[in-house]
Amino acid sequence: MEMNNPAPRNAIDDNRHGLIGKPIDRVDGILKVMGQAPYAYEVVEGGAPAYGFIVTATIAKGMVSGIDTAAAERAPGVLLVWTHQNAPQQGAWGPVDAKDRYARSSPQLRGNRVDYYGQAVAYVVAESFEQARAAAYLVQVRYAAEAGEFELAPVLGKAQKPPDEPDQKTDSLVGDFASAFETAAVKIDANYTTPCHIHAQMEPHATMAYWKDGRVVVHCASQLLESAQQAVANTLQIAPDKVRIVSRYIGGGFGGKLPIYGDVMLSAMAARQLNRPVKTALTRQQMFHFTTHRSDTVQRLRLGATADGKLTAIGHETWAHTARFDNFMENASLQTRTLYAAPNRMTTHRLAKLDLPIADSTRAPGEAVGMLALEQAVDELAEKLKLDPIELRIRNEPAQDPELKVPYSTRQLVACLREGAQRFGWAQRNARPASVPDGRWWVGMGVSAATRSNFLMASKCHVALDRDGTLTVKMAMTDIGTGSYTELTQIAAEMMGLPVERIRMQLGDSDFPETPGSGGSWGAASAGSGLYDACVSLREKLARRAGIAPAEAVFEGARISGGGRSDSLGSLAGPLGMEATGEIKPGAMKKKFSQQAYGAHFAEVAVHRDTGEIRLRRMLGVFAAGRILNPKTARSQAIGAMVWGAGNALMEEAIVDPRYGFFANQDLANYHVASHADIPAIDAYFLPEVDDKTNPLKIKGVGELGICGAGAAVANAVYNACGVRIREFPLALDKVLKGLATRTA
Q: Could you give the residue numbers annotated as active site?
A: 704
Burial of 190-217, coded b for 16+ CB within 10 Å and e otherwise, reads: bebbbbbbbbbbebbbbbbbbbeeeebb
Count CB atoms within 10 A of the CB of residue 482: 23
**CA–CA separation, 378 vs 384, rounded Å?**
10
| 741 CB-near residues (< 8 Å, 6+ apart) | none
Q: Which of left, alpha, beta for 469 (phi over 0: left; psi -120 to 50: alpha)?
A: left
Task: With beta carbons less than 8 A apart as the criterion, state whether 22 and 711 touch.
Answer: no
* E strands in 6-119: 50-56, 62-68, 78-82, 113-114
DSSP class of 339:
S
Sign of CA dihedral 44, 103, 252, 687: negative
**CA–CA separation, 8 vs 92, rounded Å?**
48
Task: With beta carbons less than 8 A apart as the criterion, state whether 147 and 66 touch.
Answer: no
Q: Which of left, alpha, beta for 672 (phi over 0: left; psi -120 to 50: alpha)?
A: beta
Three-state SS across 518-540?
A: CCCCCHHHHHHHHHHHHHHHHHH
Strands 682-686 and 614-624: parallel
Count CB atoms within 10 A of the CB of residue 265: 28
Distances (CA, A) of 22 to 470, 526, 627: 21, 20, 12
Task: With beta carbons less than 8 A apart as the criterion, state whether 503 and 450 touch.
Answer: no
Coil, strand, or helix at residue 352? strand
DSSP class of 63:
E
Task: With beta carbons less than 8 A apart as the criterion, state whether 267 and 339 touch.
Answer: no
Task: With beta carbons less than 8 A apart as the criterion, state whether 244 and 509 touch.
Answer: yes
**CA–CA separation, 683 vs 285, rounded Å?**
33
**CA–CA separation, 532 vs 682, rounded Å?**
34
Coil, strand, or helix at residue 433? coil
